[in-house]
Structure 1
Amino acid sequence: MLARAGGALGAALWLLAGPAPAAVAHPLGNFSVNHYLGFTVHPDRIEVLAVTDQAEIPTLQERSRVDRNADGTVDDAERDGWAAEQCTATAARLQVRAGPADAPLNWRVRSATYGYTDGAAGLHTARLDCTLDAPLTVTADGTALRVRSGSDPARVGWNEITARGAGVRLDPTDVPELSASHELRDYPQELLDAPSGVFDARFTAAPGSGSAAAGLLDAADSGGPAGWLDQLDRRLAELGAAHRLTVPVGLLAILLATVLGAGHALLPGHGKAAMGVYLAGRRGRVRDAVTVGATVTFTHTAGVLVLGLLLTGFSALAGEVLLGRLGVVSGLLVTAVGALLLRDVRRRTRPAVAAHGHAHSHHHAHGATDQAGAVAVLEAPPHPHHHGPFGHHHHAEPLGRTGLIGLGVAGGLVPSPSALVVLLGAVALGRTMFGVALVLAYGLGMAATLTAAGLLFLRIGDRIAGAADGSLLAGLRRFAPWSGLLTALLVLAVGLGLVLRSLPTAL
């Protein structure tokens, strides 16, 4: 028994600590669509290499259109037909105008290739290479060229333009001569967080030799250690795409998905701060934190499943835009909870003069009591309150289910791209239920982290309430009259922050 347990542990450590799999997720994200235009100007013509590099999810979305006979495989004839069609569309989209007349160039497709490369979770990435050319006469006093790529700036991805002269010189030019990404084959590691976003270019071709390239970017080494979450993500994708799925491998994949979900929830977002402040400021209980965690699990699992159906059913749907819009909705939900808290604060706050028309303690001594016997006076137990800056203020009421569920939905509403890729990869391999199990495990991991965050805030609140007088924590009790207002404002701020962070990709 111990030997088998040791063997299983050794296998798990080998999978987690061994070399990274050859097929890894796209470095710019599973939703990215990346474009490169490399211009070469000759005295009598201009050529351009137009490359489109698609990550796993856009590739999966368009696969049904590439597979014309719907037999589940893409053969050479289908790839060639798709390449010719897409390169023709690229030529129509690319706008280059030349000379003082600003005359548009007419592109001709010289070659077109389309192919797949192994990606994450058994999915593929796709690469389209188009070679186009157009006639051009470079005049003695120089010919100005203005380029508009026609790529969609709303899509997440790398967009790069280069230009060089062959028998002519380019001066001036606002794009480099060499590609920093090696024509979308090797993205520089230090630029992944701020990918190239060049959609337009201007350069002038004149008789001469060489090229005066501006802003030349050196291709950097794309190596370097990845974060532990990225490494675990690769392992999960490798396990999910294993050709032979055994029980130990399946259980390890589920465990890994749970760890990944917990780690994902540690990243910025998901309303951890809002949930913690809400629970602490509203006298939350342990079961309230568990309620939020359970809601996160359900919402995230349902969201990944629904988004997976939408992406596979609608090829024109941009996944990153949909995620951005879900992020906006998540932030609005948190903002709404903060607004409700602020409304409750206003309702519980009354001017000090009008709050009580009588003293807090009552003494009844009437003469009639001697004749009619003793009258029992029951005094209501005092309720805690403070006279804060806004008048008579009562402590927050216990948590309402609406606020708890709202925070839980907000925390799980934005599906994790890695969970989505694992689901789609499992579906593509015919393991739909296994993919659903991995997504559920991912959601449970997220819920565990968010629940733990809520319990931590509750513990901090209890420590402050029970701290001895004169201690540092006891000093925080002076803010008790403002606790409801501060809670509402903090939750509002977190919600608005989530909205602002998601807006750029939602528009």
Structure 2
Amino acid sequence: MRLAARSAAVLVVAFGALLLATPAAQAHPLGNFTVNHYAGLTLHPDRVDVRSVVDRAEIPTAQLQPEIDTNTDGTTSPDELAAYATGECPKVAAAVQATVTPDGGSAQAMTFSVTSAAAETVPGAANLPTLRVTCELTAPADLAAPGVLTYANSFQADRVGWKEIVVAGEGVRTVDSPVPATTTSNELRAYPGNLLASPLAVDSIQVSVAPGTGSTFGTAAAVGGGGDPFTSTVARADRYLQDLVGGQLTPYVGVLAVGLSLLLGAGHAVLPGHGKTVMAAYLAGKRGSRRDALTVGATVTLTHTLGVIVIGVAFTAGAAFAGEQALRWLGIVSGVLVAVIGVGLLRSAIVSRRERAEAVLDELTLVGAGPQQTTGHGHGHGHGHGHGQAADVGYSRRGLIGMGVAGGLVPSPSATIVLVASLGLGRTVFGLVLVVAYGVGMAATLTAVGLLLVRVRHRLDSAASSERLVARLGRRVQSLTAVLPIGTAVLVLLVGVGLAVRGLLTPY
């Protein structure tokens, strides 16, 4: 017991230290699934040069590994990277749509060709490689007279990520350009922290041009503030765990990583937008038992663990589907499941409330009828009251498992990257242990909130039946316990609808 308490104290101190520590550098703070784009345009009187960079985070890079590693030796050599870039850059050039429209003239389409192509891998989270492809493009254009330049690049436009365009001139000036002349991310090498909440999403521009120098710029790309302290702390802890997984594995590191995985699983369960703790209100909608809470928690652990394993193995094997799209659709399915459960809970609460009202009417009828008619109404009263209780106690096994599946259906991206890194390092068992710890942490949070709500519900029921308290507060407590099941059901329903709608409206 003392050792367990001491270990827990160490983990809490370490987690608190992360809150105060300076944020560590991270290659892709927008997520390990992102594909990021940068285009630096340089305008000349007779041509447009473009430096196009495609920077893939850890998961997309892992998916491309079988395609790049042509000799299947498990590594990417400089020759293999060069060959991949040579095949990739023409696709980037073909996805560019650009025109120049002289004042008073018609639009002239531009056709870009590749002047050089290069690719390199850069260590990312958990020491997994990220892939950076740089393409130098050029296209002839008549910019010796005033006109309008349009530029757009649809290369893998469906992938979420940072999208940045800058425009500068040499012998050509821009007039009220909508984008700056210098990069804010050092060409996707360092993302500014104050923009992470509202990342750049510029994939097309239209800018007026004229001969000369001294460009002017209009409104730059949108800026935003950083995330809330709790979300930032969880993200920092994610990075710390990924560093542990990618480093040397010792018994101390292993124990610390497992403990941190537990804390991160709990932290992800209460992050804004996940809705897992709100789903725990399901257990308070009626007289849920501790066994019900444990059943939901166990189902969350199993579902989340299996989901991470399936997706992680698929990425490692080079599956071609977009990771963020998979998470999006899993989120939609999860929301629909929660909404369906909310509908069922609401229906049950309404039926229970109606039967309670009928039971009260039966009781009032008995009192008004007097002793001589008690026998005649005994059956109706007993049946009504008993039926009302039956409608308010317990859950179906299907509903409990459904809530657990909904709570664990969307795999944690950080758990996925940890598993992928562990598989790549040959630490399969260690990775699976960490994934299970993530699920247990999530389930512990969900179960704890469920048990707390069950306890609160029981306290309210006890208070409502206390004659002394009823005499002091009137029917307020009784009214609260009467509307709590309906309110809980509506909350669960709204959370489910919100999760599903958010997934449907996600623009990728």
Is TM-score (shorter-chain normalized) higher than 0.5? yes
Q: Distance in 2 between matches of 1:218 and 1:505?
A: 19
Counterpart of 1:369?
Answer: none
2-structure distance, mates of 1:222, 1:483: 37
Q: Which residue of 2 aligns with 1:96?
A: 98
Distance apart, 1:324 and its partner CA: 1.0
Q: Deviations over 1:237-257 (max 9, x none)?
A: 1221123x2223212211111
Shift of 1:379: 6.8
Counterpart for residue 341 of structure 1 = 345
* Structure-1 separation of matches of 2:401 and 2:395: 11
**In 2, distance between residues paired with 1:237 and 1:418?**
8
Work out which of the residue numbers 201, 211, 233 in structure 1 matches 2:238. Answer: 233
Question: 1:492 and 2:493 equivalent?
Answer: yes
Change (3 A) 1:222 1:489: closer
Inter-partner Cα distance in structure 1 for 2:452 and 2:406: 19
Q: What is the deviation of 1:504?
A: 3.0
Q: Note the residue ranges of structure 1 that are not aligned, 5 or more in a row.
A: 367-374, 387-391
User: Is 2:100–2:108's contact at 8 Å kept on the other side of the alignment?
Assistant: yes
Moved over 4 A (4+): 5-23, 217-226, 345-348, 350-353, 355-366, 377-386, 392-395, 470-474
What corresponds to 1:465 in structure 2?
461
2:443 — aligned with what? 447
CA distance in 1, matches of 2:358, 2:11: 68
Aligned pair partner of 2:135 in 130, 144, 167: 130
* Residue of structure 2 aligned with 1:256, choices 260, 263, 283: 260
The equivalent position to 1:411 in structure 2, one of 394, 407, 413, is 407
- Describe the superposition over 1:463-501 as per-residue Cα deviations: whole angstroms up to 9, x where unpaired: 222223256697232144444433332221111111122
Matches of 2:256 and 2:507, distance apart in 1: 35
User: Alignment identity in percent?
Assistant: 43
What is residue 218 of structure 2 aligned with on the other side?
Answer: 214
What is residue 370 of structure 1 aligned with on the other side? none
* Worse-superposed segment, 494-503 or 170-179: 170-179
Q: Report the count of equivalent residues.
A: 490
Pick the aligned partner of 2:430 from 431, 434, 445.
434
**After superposition, where does 1:182-331 map in structure 2 within 5 Å?**
182-216=186-220, 227-243=232-248, 245-331=249-335
User: Which of the pair has more CA radius of gyration?
Assistant: 1
| 3-state SS of 1:448 partner | helix
Q: Distance in 2 between matches of 1:292 and 1:84?
A: 51
Q: Which residue of 1 aligns with 2:392?
A: 396
User: Equivalences for 1:54-65 in 2 at 5 Å?
Assistant: 54-65=56-67
Matched, 1:49 2:51: yes
Q: 5+ unaligned residues in a row in structure 2: which ranges?
A: 464-468
User: What code does the residue aligned with 2:142 have?
Assistant: T
The amino acid that maps onto 1:415 is P
Counterpart-to-counterpart distance in 2, 1:236 and 1:263:
13
SS in 1 for 2:296: helix
Instruction: Please report how far the alpha carbon of residue 227 of structure 1 lies from its aligned counterpart in structure 2 after TM superposition.
Output: 3.0
Residues 150-189 of structure 1 correspond to what in structure 2 (within 5 A)?
150-189=154-193
Question: For residues 294 and 445 of structure 2, what CA distance do their matches in structure 1 show?
Answer: 11
Deviates more, 1:163-172 or 1:298-307: 163-172
5 Å-filtered alignment, 1:469-488, equals 469=470, 475-488=476-489
* Contact kept in structure 2, 1:292 and 1:404, CA below 8 Å: yes
TM-score, normalised relative to structure 2: 0.85
Q: Which moved more, 1:268-277 or 1:72-81?
A: 268-277
In the superposition, the TM-score normalised over structure 1's length comes to 0.86
Deviation at 1:451, TM superposition (A): 0.6
Q: CA RMSD in A?
A: 3.8
Q: Which amino acid aligns with 1:108?
A: S
Deviation at 1:17, TM superposition (A): 4.6
1:144 aligns with 2:148: yes
Deviation (angstroms), 1:29: 0.8
Q: Which amino acid aligns with 2:55?
A: D
